[in-house]
A = this chain, B = another copy of it.
Amino acid sequence: MKVGLDVGGTKTDAVAVDDAGAIAGRIRMATGWGPDAVTQTVVDAVRALGVEAGVDLSAVRSVGVGIPGQIEPGTGRVVHAVNLGVDELDLARMVTPQLRGVTPRLGLPVQVENDVKAAALGAHALHARNGSPAPGSMAYLNLGTGIAAGIVSDGVLWRGARGTAGEVGHISVDPNGPLCRCGQRGCIEAFAGGGAIAERWAQRSALPVRDVFDAADQGDPSARQLRAGLARGVAAAVRVLVLTADVDIVVLGGGVTALGERLMTDVAAELSASAEASPFMRSLHLTDRVELLPPGSPAAALGAALVGAEGDATHDAEEALVHG
């Protein structure tokens, strides 16, 4: 049994995955704010899997945590998880001793991964499980406040050299485009990031991107422009992922994909327009290669569990080394 947690800006999704890869239990809870509360959330979520979802915590061999921040390679240290109020947190080291009160197993290995990378791994696993032919390679494109992707090839996460793999959100596709919070102009994220759209829409709303779609349907010119920019940015990200990493399919997920078919229709139209103009783009059949992660999918938490299991393998090897 392995546990995986997706620690989001507001909610944490936790799953227990059995040895056959099936989800044996799942709970959701609010995420705390700041380093201590985030650490506590992780511990509480593992405990809740036992108490609320009836998972046998003594059978858990690893914990994986996906978190929206940069992870220092080879450590469990999180930096710049702004949406969680975390500037710096040695999450794996903080969580491990506290888990001793929750599970009987001493020194349960805890791995931490960027949430989008974890979701990519989980989306790949779910894809294979759904009976579809398992793609040789896949990109998971997360459309949230910001935009980033994770790339999985032959079931292995592409981690890259310095932690910027899949950071397609900050590729500029228009020198005259809107100013991005990163300082460049015309970044994919400046067109299609939920945060950037909300800021430019400038009307207080709980669901600003949905409002933009609704207002565009009613003919509001600035909403139409923002909505067109969203499709344009997503289509550009899809092209970048296919033309650079040559992934078989691109799976869209994240908060903005709650728009479902309304979003997909716009993106498909944008991809079709470039296929119309270019025989080369047409030969790529991009519209057939973009998929939507189903709403409520446990991809991120499942992927975190898979990352955690990598830690379990290392842990076993280390134990073997120490204990012979």
* Chain A interface residues (CB < 8 Å from chain B): 135-137, 149, 151, 153, 158-168, 170-176, 180, 182-185, 236, 239-248, 274, 277-281, 284
Contact A243 B277 (CB under 8 A): no
Q: A247 CA to B172 CA in the complex, in Å?
A: 18
Q: A152 CA to B275 CA in the complex, in Å?
A: 29
14 contacts between A and B (CB under 8 A): A135-B161, A137-B161, A160-B245, A161-B246, A161-B247, A165-B244, A167-B243, A167-B244, A168-B243, A168-B244, A171-B240, A180-B278, A183-B278, A240-B244
Report the minimal beta-carbon distance from A141 to chain B, rounded to whole angstroms. 11
* Residues in B neighbouring A165, C-beta threshold 8 A: 244-246
Contact A244 B246 (CB under 8 A): no
Contact A279 B182 (CB under 8 A): yes
Contact A164 B277 (CB under 8 A): no
Complex partner residue of A281 from B183, B274, B278, CB under 8 angstroms = B183
Report the minimal beta-carbon distance from A171 to chain B, rounded to whole angstroms. 5
Q: A168 CA to B244 CA in the complex, in Å?
A: 6
Q: State the number of copies, please.
A: 2
Question: A137-B161, A167-B246 provided; 14 other pairs, C-beta below 8 A?
Answer: A136-B161, A151-B244, A162-B284, A163-B246, A164-B246, A165-B246, A168-B243, A168-B244, A180-B278, A182-B280, A184-B274, A184-B280, A241-B244, A245-B245
Complex partner residue of A183 from B137, B160, B161, B280, CB under 8 angstroms = B280
Q: A173 CA to B239 CA in the complex, in Å?
A: 11
Q: A168 CA to B242 CA in the complex, in Å?
A: 9
* Residues in B neighbouring A183, C-beta threshold 8 A: 277-281
* Residues in B neighbouring A280, C-beta threshold 8 A: 170, 182-184
Report the minimal beta-carbon distance from A220 to chain B, rounded to whole angstroms. 22
* Residues in B neighbouring A164, C-beta threshold 8 A: 242-243, 246, 284
* Residues in B neighbouring A158, C-beta threshold 8 A: 153, 245-246
Residue of B nearest to A242 (CB): B164
Complex partner residue of A239 from B160, B171, B243, CB under 8 angstroms = B171
* Residues in B neighbouring A166, C-beta threshold 8 A: 244, 246
Report the minimal beta-carbon distance from A208 to chain B, rounded to whole angstroms. 24
